[in-house]
Amino acid sequence: MITTAQSVAANAEEQREESFLSLIEEHKSMVYGLAWNSFQDAALAEEIAQDVFLELHKHLERLEGANHIKNWLRKVTVNRCIDHSRRRKLRPNLGLDDVPEPAAAAPDSDPLLEARLRRMVASLPEKLRTVVILRYQEDLSLEEIGAVLGLPAQTVKSRLQRSLEMLRAKLEPGALGRER
């Protein structure tokens, strides 16, 4: 026979799980995307994403509000990616076959160009790569990127500029097919 207290507890747990599930659905593309764009490795990206959401589950009670949760997820995901890249020294997976489905369809997309850009971004140094991904995947401002990485906005700006110069240089006419 189930007591009232037990049923209340069971209900509470069920609600908690539902809330958590909705959080996963809301933020899974962001978290998975950050990981995938950093390494272009689907298995690693899912591993990192799962770790991040497990951490969220542990710290959920301490997080207040949607923005707090979002920023927290972003920061934790970036840190996990940085840890992995320093530990494993990954070579990016440059193939087109394993590209996950985009979260949103893009008009006039050029898959080949996109793949090339992704390869170029993945080959950037870790400090520059992270800035580029946060800027162009999440569309964060320099200050917001600085808040995630713990850097002054000016440092973020200079790293971003350097990254774009490197990418443009690789995309120069005549440079197609010859990636440095």
Binding interface with another protein (CB under 8 A): 17, 20-21, 24-25, 28-30, 32-33, 36-37, 42, 45-46, 49-50, 53-54, 57, 100-104, 106, 108-110, 113-115, 117-118, 121, 132-133, 135-137, 139, 164, 167-168, 171
- Closer residue to another protein (CB): 30 or 81: 30
Q: CB under 8 Å to 127, separation ≥6 — which residues?
A: 159
Q: To the nearest whole angstrom, how small is the minimum distance from the Cβ of residue 162 to another protein?
A: 14
Task: Give, rounded to a whole angstrom, the gap between the first and last alpha carbons of the chain.
Answer: 70
Q: To the nearest whole angstrom, how small is the minimum distance from the Cβ of residue 140 to another protein?
A: 12
- Closer residue to another protein (CB): 120 or 151: 120
Among 51, 171, 52, CA closest to 123: 171
Q: Tally Cβ neighbours within 10 Å of residue 130.
A: 26
Distance, in Å, from the CA atom of 121 to the CA atom of 55, rounded to the nearest integer, reads 28
- Closer residue to another protein (CB): 23 or 151: 23
- Closer residue to another protein (CB): 151 or 166: 166
Tokens at residue 108, please?
A: 């006039």
Distance, in Å, from the CA atom of 51 to the CA atom of 48, rounded to the nearest integer, reads 5
Are 31 and 53 contacting, i.e. CB atoms less than 8 angstroms apart? yes
Q: To the nearest whole angstrom, how small is the minimum distance from the Cβ of residue 178 to another protein?
A: 18
Q: To the nearest whole angstrom, how small is the minimum distance from the Cβ of residue 43 to another protein?
A: 10
